[in-house]
Amino acid sequence: MTDKPTRRMVLGGLTAMLAAPAFGETGTFRFPSIDGGEYRLSDWAGRPVLVVNTASLCGFTDQYEGLQALQDRFADQGLVVLAVPSNDFRQELASEDEVKEFCEMTFGLDLPMTEITSVRGPGAHPFYAWLRATHDFTPRWNFNKVLIGADGRFIEAFGSNVRPTSRKLVQAIEGQLTS
């Protein structure tokens, strides 16, 4: 299969998905939860969501501390930090159970977390395929951050080098908080 048909298929599917979204641009996206069940971005309507592709064995893994700090600091004002473990860069543990245990034991994480999910390429989760198609954004490495506004619209993407507690990211989050 060539790149053009794949792109056409993705764009066609995304157009259908976004025809009547329940929550801004992102309302129809669902992620399988690492705990079972699923997360729907529409469940967090009215709240900003920071979606972060993560990996347990990456040099940026210490950013989990900052992600948890953001969640702790801004949760009462509406922020949700969604961790999306991915093995696209071959730096994730072998199973969801291992990822969950590592994150809880090493960082005390209690963020919502998805199952191990592809974030790039032809097998990318629909959210990440949508980011590529509509906002020309594809994670280049682990710990890329995507801020979705309280209205469900894409606000900004931040690379791996932008620390979770950096002034730039915190100011972007503060601009989206409900109170």
Q: Identify the weakest region by mean pLDDT among 11-15, 42-46, 132-136, 169-173.
A: 11-15
What's the longest Cα–Cα distance across the chain?
49
Please state the CATH superfamily assignment of the domain spanning residues 3-174 in this structure.
Answer: Glutaredoxin (3.40.30.10)
Q: Which of 58, 82, 93, 173 is catalytic?
A: 58
Which stretch of DSSP H or E encloses residue 106?
helix 96-107
More confident residue, 85 or 27: 85
57-77: pLDDT as tens digits: 999 999 999 999 999 999 999
CA nearest to 125, candidates 67, 38, 61: 38
Active site residue 103: no
| pTM confidence score | 0.86
* SS3 of the chain: helix, strand, coil, percent, to 5: 35, 15, 45
Q: 4: pLDDT confidence band, cut at 50, 70 and 90? A: very low
What confidence tens digit (pLDDT) does each residue in 82-104 have?
A: 999 999 999 999 999 999 999 99
Rounded distance, CA 119 to CA 141, Å? 10
Bridge partners for 114 per DSSP: 33
| Dihedral-angle region of residue 85 (phi above 0 means left; psi in -120 to 50 means alpha; beta otherwise) | beta
Tokens 């053009």 correspond to: 4
pLDDT of 20 > 50? The answer is no
